[in-house]
Amino acid sequence: MPYFLKNTTNFDKIRNIFPMNNQQIGKIIQERRDYLNLTQKDVAEMAGITFKSISEIELGIRNPSINTLKSILDVLGLELSVQIKSMN
Which pLDDT band, with edges at 50, 70 and 90, does 1 fall under? low
How large is the average pLDDT for residues 58-86?
A: 89
- Output the CA torsion 9→10→11→14 (10° steps): -40
Q: Is pLDDT above 80 for 8? A: no
Residues in the chain, overall count: 88
pTM of the predicted protein model = 0.74
Beta carbons within 10 angstroms of residue 41's beta carbon = 12
* Rounded average pLDDT over 59-82: 91
Question: Over 90: is that where the pLDDT of 70 sits?
Answer: yes
Domains in the chain with CATH codes? 3-76 (1.10.260.40)
pLDDT of residue 7: 47
